[in-house]
Structures are given as structure tokens and as C-alpha cells.
Structure 1
């Protein structure tokens, strides 16, 4: 945009306003110095829509003018097609993760119950040992 501003003698602000107005009307206007990674999702969708009705020759010409490859248009078209399926895919993934989480929670709860039982048993044995020591005295080899 800097080069265009200097070449045409139009301020950057005016060019930016014109670009914003054109984008608001749905025109495909990626940044001039931006590579394809700099394109917005809106620009990519507009490119897919514009290229949808083109034959192979027209598509090649369109891509050369825009500085992109036909393969990129194909990838963007697939991404657009899958965009509406994301919720179904996400729901399935979330359901699978939830099921895995439930299994893990059940496993941890079983392990916790087992350890609590073992701890209670150890505590009961210590209490009994103290009672035995109090009644009959310490066993041979034990400290008093």
C-alpha cells in the first residue's frame, strides 16, 4: 500500500478507507504485500466463491492474477466444506473424551477405596497392637 500511495499520490488513510469500504461490500482485497498466509478467512472464502464457476484455464489465470495456486483454492474449498461439520466432529471428540474421563475417574475412585480400606486396616492393627501391649506388656523384641 505504501508503494501505491507514493505512485498515485493518494494518502495511505484514503487507500485504507477505500479498501475497508470495498471489503464491506464483499470484494476480495488481500493485503498487497501479504503472502497467502496473510489472507483473512473472509478473503479465502471470497476467492473460493469467485473461483467456483471458473473452468481450468480461467482458474489458472485467476490464480496468477492473485498470486496463488489452484491447489490452495482446492484446500480452501475443502476447509469451507468441513467448516460446517466441525460441530459434529467436535461433539464426537468431546463425547469420546468424556467417556475416557469417566473411565479414568471410576478407576481412580476404585483405587482410592482400596487404599482407604488398607489404611483403615493398618490403623485398626496399630490400635489392637497398643491394646495388646497395654494388657500383656510389650512383645519380645519391641520397645516399650
Structure 2
């Protein structure tokens, strides 16, 4: 299994990543490197947070991780630097802005979901408290009924007749 220098690997990855976005098959044929090796390199780049396009070439079809990485990388950039970055990566500034807006909407939605979940938990606790109190009340009533039944049976055993039946 051949080993490749960091410089060669970087040059080959440059062909695969934006702005060139060449296919793995064409780069593999040109460089004489196995497709699996190139896919492994791309996977490693993805894991390191490098914006790597998926099977498709347009920026809007990149993975959510890659889009988030671009948004984070471009946050501190000026408009001129953003333009240069976008040309290098093969995306448009408008795409980056849409991705940023989507990230912010997701954060807002997450906060709303947290508030809703917290409200639901509070309601659940109140329901549990109410049901627990209802169970206690019913347990006391059952205990009282049971003790009355036992006393009734003892009285019947003592006198040998039903105390409620006074016809005898």
C-alpha cells in the first residue's frame, strides 16, 4: 500500500474540494490513486470539519455539517474576505447568508422547543401530584371500607345473625 506525502495529498484534495469540485473518478484516473483512498481522504476532511461537498457539486447540496462549518468559518470575515472565501470554496455569499439564517432559525426553534418541554414537564408534575393525592384518598376510603366489612363480619360471628336484618 503506497504512502503519499502531505504535499501530494493536499494537492490531490485541492482538486476534489471547491472551487474545482472534480469527481473522485476523474482525479483517481489522473493521479493513479485508488478511488477508495480518495474517499477515505474526503471522509477524514469531513471529520476534521472541512467543508467537503457530498456526491453533488453545488453548495446547496452540501451536508449540514459542511454548511455549518462554512458559516462558522465566515462569521468573522469582512465582505471582501467573504467574497474571496466563497470564490475559493465554490459557493456564493448569498448561500452562506441563507445557511447562517437557517442556523439561527434552528437555534430559535430549539429555544422554543425547550420552553415548550419545560411547560409540559411542569404540567406533568402537577398531574402526577393530583393523581397521587387521588390515589391516597381512594386508598384511605378502601381501608375504611375494609375495616367496616371486617367489623361487620366479627359482629355477625359474635351474635350469629345479620345485624342489619332485624326481621328475625
**TM-score normalised to the size of structure 2?**
0.52
Q: Which of 1 and 2 has higher RCO (CA within 8 Å, sep 6+)?
A: 2
Distance 2:41 2:125 in 1: 55
1:80 equivalent to 2:80? Answer: no
Counterpart selection for 2:151 from 121, 128, 137: 128
SS of equivalent residue, structure 1 residue 80: helix
Q: Is the 8 A contact 2:54 2:63 kept in 1?
A: yes
Distance 1:21 1:112 in 2: 58
Unaligned stretches of 5+ in structure 2? 1-22
Q: Over the residues paired in the alignment, what is the CA RMSD in angstroms?
A: 4.2
Q: How many residues align?
A: 130
| Partner residue in 1 for 2:18 | none
- The 1:27–1:117 alpha-carbon spacing in structure 2 relative to 1, beyond 3 Å, is closer
**TM-score normalised to the size of structure 1?**
0.59
CA drift of 1:4 comes to 2.7
Distance 2:146 2:130 in 1: 24
